[in-house]
């Protein structure tokens, strides 16, 4: 995804579309964080704007992104009717009122402990299923925005999708258990364990990145007196894929100095060239240890 963001899509259309969904998620997340950072309310306009951004050019872009659904939808296998569907969301006429209620619920201060309130809100959003498509992506996107809005964290370091995907059947069963049997306790425990597990993973990844950055800095300081390689390293740690011209601007140095900085990082094994035009460099260890572990 980072490579595609830096250099454009590759030849595999399926991978490119999958990557684009992640890119749109990040763009929508940044839109939401900017909104919250300005102290604006988490209202329905924001939710619809986020949905429109999330689906642009991806799955569901032809399903009225940014607009509440105007027809009945079913959750289940293709061809299911209402009797066979796994879940039947509320009629479309009820969606605006239900979303108004949801927005009121997540408007700070939280009605319950913030993590519990977020768990309740996520269940409610997925149950309302307000859009024709993209509700799963949208529901997961709203979690960090709500948590930041509640003051639980300052940055979006919790991404629960991996946990939900790994526990996919239990995730759906817990949601359905609330709807069919009122099993709130089981759903809350599942959601809170997802937060705990994801938080531990996030802390470990941040620590690995911090340790790696410190080790790389030590290598650079021992091999060069120039400040340009250190600036280049900082940019690599931030963007992963970089060009010489980007380092030139970031470090406020000349083009030859930027290229010499990259030569230093390459000789130390910190980065390697990717090729293409313009040529890019990246850190394989950063990707392996921080993103893929």
Instruction: Specify whether 210 is located in the same domain as 123.
Output: no
Backbone angles phi, psi at 75, to 5 degrees: -105, 115
Instruction: Specify whether 89 is located in the same domain as 212.
Output: no
Can you tell me whether residue 77 is helix, strand or coil? coil
Read off the CATH number of the domain in which 224 is found: 1.10.10.10
Residues 6+ apart with CB under 8 A from 250: 231, 232, 234, 235
Residue 215 domain-assigned?
yes
CA distances from 267 to 86, 139, 236, 250, 286 (A): 57, 45, 15, 21, 16
Range of lowest pLDDT (5-9, 51-55, 91-95): 5-9
Give residue 82's pLDDT. Answer: 79
Read off the CATH number of the domain in which 128 is found: 1.10.3290.10
Higher-confidence position of 197 and 84 = 197
Nearest-Å Rg of the Cα atoms of the chain is: 22
Asked if residue 262 lies in contact with residue 228, where contact means CB atoms within 8 angstroms, the answer is: no
DSSP code for 87: B
* Residue listed under structure tokens 């425990």: 189
Residue 269 domain-assigned?
yes
- Residue ending a domain, among 156, 176, 194, is 156
Is residue 12 pLDDT above 70, yes or no? yes
Report how far residue 259's alpha carbon sits from residue 254's, in angstroms, rounded to the nearest whole number. Answer: 9
CA-nearest of 87, 74, 80, 82 to 174 is 87
Give residue 75's pLDDT. Answer: 87
pLDDT digits (tens, 9 = 90+) for 109-167: 888 999 999 999 999 999 999 999 999 999 999 999 999 989 888 888 888 999 999 99
Instruction: Specify whether 115 is located in the same domain as 241.
Output: no
Residue 191 domain-assigned?
no
Instruction: Specify whether 118 is located in the same domain as 248.
Output: no
Instruction: Specify whether 148 is located in the same domain as 232.
Output: no
Instruction: Specify whether 151 is located in the same domain as 215.
Output: no
Backbone angles phi, psi at 82, to 5 degrees: -60, -35
Give residue 177's pLDDT. Answer: 96
Per the structure block, which two tokens stand in for 80? 């299911």
Instruction: Specify whether 17 is located in the same domain as 142.
Output: yes
Residue 90 C-alpha from the chain's centroid? 28
- Compute the average pLDDT of residues 214-242: 95
Q: Is cis: bond before 278, omega within 30 of 0?
A: yes
Residue 188 domain-assigned?
no
Can you tell me whether residue 274 is helix, strand or coil? strand
Residue 66 domain-assigned?
yes
Can you tell me whether residue 11 is helix, strand or coil? coil
Residue 167 domain-assigned?
no
Instruction: Specify whether 26 is located in the same domain as 129.
Output: yes
pLDDT, the chain, mean? 92
Q: 239 lies in which domain range?
A: 205-291
Instruction: Specify whether 17 is located in the same domain as 121.
Output: yes
Residue 185 domain-assigned?
no
Instruction: Specify whether 210 is located in the same domain as 141.
Output: no
Residue 52 domain-assigned?
yes
Query: H helices of the chain, where?
Result: 2-7, 13-37, 44-55, 95-106, 114-128, 135-149, 161-166, 168-181, 184-223, 228-239, 244-251, 255-267, 284-286
Instruction: Specify whether 37 is located in the same domain as 118.
Output: yes
pLDDT digits (tens, 9 = 90+) for 103-113: 999 998 888 99
Give residue 292's pLDDT. Answer: 62
Is residue 206 pLDDT above 80, yes or no? yes
Instruction: Specify whether 119 is located in the same domain as 252.
Output: no
How many independent structural domains does the chain possess?
A: 2
**pTM, 2 dp:** 0.88
């Amino acid at each position: 995804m980072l490579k595609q963001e830096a250099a454009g899509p590759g030849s595999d259309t399926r991978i490119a579309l999958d990557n684009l969904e992640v890119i749109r998620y990040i763009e929508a997340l940044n839109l939401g964080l900017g909104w919250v950072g300005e102290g604006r309310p988490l209202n329905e306009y924001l939710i619809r704007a986020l949905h429109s951004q999330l689906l642009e050019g991806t799955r569901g872009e032809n399903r009225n992104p940014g607009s509440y659904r105007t027809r009945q939808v079913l959750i289940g296998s293709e061809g299911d009717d209402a009797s066979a569907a796994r879940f039947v969301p509320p009629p479309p006429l009820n969606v605006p009122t239900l979303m108004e209620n949801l927005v009121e619920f997540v408007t700070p201060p939280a009605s319950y402990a913030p993590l519990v309130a977020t768990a309740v809100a996520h269940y409610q959003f997925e149950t309302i299923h307000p859009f024709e498509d993209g509700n799963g992506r949208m529901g997961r996107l709203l979690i960090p925005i709500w948590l930041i809005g509640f003051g639980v964290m300052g940055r979006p370091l919790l991404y629960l999708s991996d946990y939900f995907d790994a526990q996919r059947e239990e995730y759906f069963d817990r949601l359905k258990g609330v709807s069919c049997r009122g099993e709130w306790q089981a759903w809350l425990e599942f959601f809170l364990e997802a937060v705990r597990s994801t938080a531990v993973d996030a802390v470990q990844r941040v620590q690995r990145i911090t340790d790696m950055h410190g080790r790389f800095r030590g290598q650079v300081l021992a091999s060069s007196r120039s400040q340009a390689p250190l600036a280049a390293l900082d940019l690599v740690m931030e963007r992963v894929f970089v060009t010489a011209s980007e380092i030139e601007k970031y470090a406020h140095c000349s083009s030859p100095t930027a290229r010499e900085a990259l030569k230093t990082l390459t000789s130390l094994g910190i980065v390697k060239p990717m090729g293409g035009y313009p040529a890019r460099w990246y850190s394989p260890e950063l990707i392996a240890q921080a993103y893929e572990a």
